Structure 1
Amino acid sequence: MSPFTSTVTTEEQHNTGNSPAPVTNTVIPQTCPKTVNANRKTIAMLGAGAWGSALATLASVNDHELRVWSRRGELSLEEAIADADVIISAISMKGVRSVAAQLKELSIPKDAIIVTATKGLEPKTTLTPSQIWQETFPDHPVVVLSGPNLSKEIEAGLPAATVVASADENAAIAVQELFSSNCFRVYTNTDPVGTELGGTLKNVIAIGVGICEGLNLGTNAKSALITRALPEIIRIGTHFGAQPETFLGLAGLGDMLATCMSPLSRNHRVGYGLAQGKDLKQILEELGSTAEGVNTTKVLINLANREGIPISISRQIYRLLKGTVTPMAAVEALMERELKAESCELFENSDEEE
């Protein structure tokens, strides 16, 4: 075996599809040689899709014991979490609460750190994944992992950086040490809400940038959209207690740039498909995997309506997803808004149409 080859045991293929297949011999490029770890941890990875498999690859580089659980796999949830030091959730948003409830019934190891790498909002409650985990396990530290991390690039061993955030600084540092390598730089912060919302809400904007791409509107339009969308995200985040500066870092602007500018992004591909005249259902079927921005947009609009927060760009994207407006009509609606001075308008009152 090559010195840059690592074996990860899982029961589900690590790509954007869901075809079950054993995964072995995940090749790590020479920039990420496998290390011998004197402080080896036992990690339970929940989720074997593209992102879960990418995280499993990173953990294997640092020689941790890794158990990967998926709904289609042979390994039971109880077996996966037995004696785990760290439990990492990389499942889709719709599965977070049910899996958390299953774990509560099993009783997780008392000192286990819970890491959530899921991006989304729960439709009924508008809770983030970390809030659901913390609500379910109030006595365990919960750490949010989020940043400009496209799973295919992570799998290829290309250099990347991310943020791990928690109210428990020691837990964040422990997770930082768990994943840090010479191809994956990990930063800590103490703003889990901001870190999580930055990674969640940028998926909505990525759909909009995909629309710009599909309409061939040019770099100027995409740059304007991203820049004017950032205050919308900050406005939502600060309303719920996040720190504004978090959204200017890796988990905010960094993640937005990666997701908005890359054709690898599933949310970007949704927007591109809409601009090409495709039906949303058809686009999602072609993707064969989750594009969290679609569901997040619906939850975001309900949240903004309830709290009176203006989000003009996100509202047009919502109308596009509903099929009540054409891509060009949405662009025109944004371009024809009342003229004003440029400002971040973080605390502006809402005067939008519902």
Structure 2
Amino acid sequence: MTNDNSQSVAILGAGAWGTALANLAAANGHQVRVWSRWGEETLEAVLEDAQIILSAISMKGVRDVAAQVKSLPVSPETIFVTATKGLEPETTCTPSQIWQSAFPDNAVVVLSGPNLSKEIEMELPAATVVASNIFTAAQAVQLVFSSNRFRVYTNPDPVGVELGGTLKNVIAIAAGVCDGLQLGTNAKAGLVTRGLTEMVRIGNFWGAKTETFYGLSGLGDLLATCNSPLSRNYQVGYQLAAGKTLEEVLSHLQGTAEGVNTCRVLMQRARQQNIPVPITEQVDRLLQGKITPQQALDELMLRDIKPEYHFEDGN
């Protein structure tokens, strides 16, 4: 396919997600180069004249790769896109905050949504969100990846879009536990709904807009991850409920379950800021081996009864 508006796109990370995004851009006629730390090509060669640099590396590699990119010549016009979901343990920074601090003068766009890479590989229809403080940058990225099988929406709330994709991984672990214990549809509907409330509460503390969490990158991604055996985070919860240890589960998992690390970082931040996060707290205790899946459930069911909403303060 020829494309008169062809862009030069560099994808950092050759895992399932980076590869899926590379294929989408290439199918739209863009010039795509992919870098992997184990690949043949140097980072410098892949980044040469790149108009869009998309990072799809796992959370633990983000700061290191951002520093490597910073040591190379990058145009101030280049748009950075981050497609990583997670929080940095040492700083509690999100991936976009790391990229923006490394490149303060460049536009940074967050790409996140209900996007299980295996389904995108199979060319099944999907939708996602690209968010930035700079609307023209989000629009440019939207054009690169949009197709008749991948619908891309823009959003002006990058913090909310990024946190939606990050926080739902913790709730997905809880959903996996729920299914693993065979607790039924009612229990899971309750869990996922209260999980969304918890995501909104945390997001508001970090300056995210409530309505973003009811969109694709919040509720959409939450539904996909909490209901699919393809989700690594769901698998962690499901297998813990089957009696496996966390070490056993993670050693057999293909790829990274970012929710395990996110949960720990989130608890640290929630304690500092006094944010009530009952589901996250039980997932954290479960991951640390302090309680069994059944005990985690009992703790949530036996909490003080309360109103669903406090209308007077907008919650």
Q: Please, what TM-score do these two structures have when normalized by structure 2?
A: 0.98
User: Is the contact between residue 115 and residue 143 of structure 1 (CA under 8 Å) also seen in structure 2?
Assistant: yes
Q: What is the root-mean-square deviation in Å for CA atoms of aligned residues? A: 1.4
Which residue number in structure 1 is paired with residue 156 of structure 2? 190
Q: Alpha carbons of 1:98 and 1:315: their partners in 2 closer, same or farther (altered >3 Å)?
A: same
Secondary structure, aligned partner of 1:38: coil
Q: Alpha carbons of 1:109 and 1:63: their partners in 2 closer, same or farther (altered >3 Å)?
A: same
User: Is the contact between residue 46 and residue 89 of structure 1 (CA under 8 Å) also seen in structure 2?
Assistant: yes
Q: Alpha carbons of 1:348 and 1:126: their partners in 2 closer, same or farther (altered >3 Å)?
A: farther
User: Is the contact between residue 232 and residue 346 of structure 1 (CA under 8 Å) also seen in structure 2?
Assistant: no
Long gaps (5+) in structure 2: none
* Counterpart residue identity of residue 235, structure 1: R
Deviation of 1:339 (Å): 1.1
Which residue number in structure 2 is paired with residue 343 of structure 1? 309
Between the aligned partners of 1:57 and 1:270, the Cα distance in structure 2 is 28
* Counterpart residue identity of residue 291, structure 1: A
Long gaps (5+) in structure 1: 1-34, 350-354
2:64 matches 1:98? yes
Deviation of 1:240 (Å): 1.0
2:238 matches 1:272? yes
Secondary structure, aligned partner of 2:40: coil
- Identity among equivalent positions (%) equals 62
Deviation of 1:345 (Å): 8.4
Deviation of 1:110 (Å): 2.7
Deviation of 1:37 (Å): 1.2
1:27-106 correspondence runs (5 A): 35-106=1-72
Which residue number in structure 2 is paired with residue 10 of structure 1? none
Secondary structure, aligned partner of 1:235: helix
Deviation of 1:306 (Å): 0.3
Deviation of 1:268 (Å): 0.2
Which residue number in structure 2 is paired with residue 285 of structure 1? 251
1:203-247 superposed Cα distances (whole Å, 9 cap, x missing partner)? 000000000111001111110000011111111111111110000
Which residue number in structure 1 is paired with residue 166 of structure 2? 200
Q: After the TM superposition, which of the residue ranges 57-66 and 165-174 deviates more from structure 2?
A: 57-66
1:106-130 superposed Cα distances (whole Å, 9 cap, x missing partner)? 1212311000000000111111000
Which residue number in structure 2 is paired with residue 107 of structure 1? 73
* Counterpart residue identity of residue 40, structure 1: S
Which residue number in structure 2 is paired with residue 325 of structure 1? 291
* Counterpart residue identity of residue 73, structure 1: G
Q: Alpha carbons of 1:348 and 1:167: their partners in 2 closer, same or farther (altered >3 Å)?
A: closer
Which residue number in structure 2 is paired with residue 159 of structure 1? 125
Between the aligned partners of 1:291 and 1:275, the Cα distance in structure 2 is 16
Which residue number in structure 1 is paired with residue 112 of structure 2? 146
* Counterpart residue identity of residue 167, structure 2: L
* Counterpart residue identity of residue 233, structure 1: M
User: Is the contact between residue 204 and residue 296 of structure 1 (CA under 8 Å) also seen in structure 2?
Assistant: yes
Deviation of 1:348 (Å): 10
* Counterpart residue identity of residue 72, structure 2: L
Pick one of 170, 174, 179 that aligns with 2:140: 174
Secondary structure, aligned partner of 2:71: helix
* Counterpart residue identity of residue 147, structure 1: G
Number of residue pairs matched by the alignment = 315
Secondary structure, aligned partner of 2:81: strand
1:280-337 superposed Cα distances (whole Å, 9 cap, x missing partner)? 1111111131000000000000000000000001100000000000000110111011
Deviation of 1:344 (Å): 6.7
Secondary structure, aligned partner of 2:9: strand
Q: Alpha carbons of 1:36 and 1:344: their partners in 2 closer, same or farther (altered >3 Å)?
A: farther
Which residue number in structure 1 is paired with residue 276 of structure 2? 310
Which contiguous aligned blocks of 4+ residues in structure 1 show a shift greater than 4 angstroms? 344-349
Between the aligned partners of 1:344 and 1:299, the Cα distance in structure 2 is 28
Deviation of 1:267 (Å): 0.2
Between the aligned partners of 1:141 and 1:64, the Cα distance in structure 2 is 20
1:166-222 superposed Cα distances (whole Å, 9 cap, x missing partner)? 000000000000000000000001100000000000000000000011100111111
* Counterpart residue identity of residue 80, structure 2: I
2:203 matches 1:237? yes
Deviation of 1:347 (Å): 7.1
2:203 matches 1:210? no
Secondary structure, aligned partner of 1:106: coil
Which structure: greater helix fraction?
2
User: Is the contact between residue 82 and residue 109 of structure 1 (CA under 8 Å) also seen in structure 2?
Assistant: no
Which residue number in structure 2 is paired with residue 253 of structure 1? 219
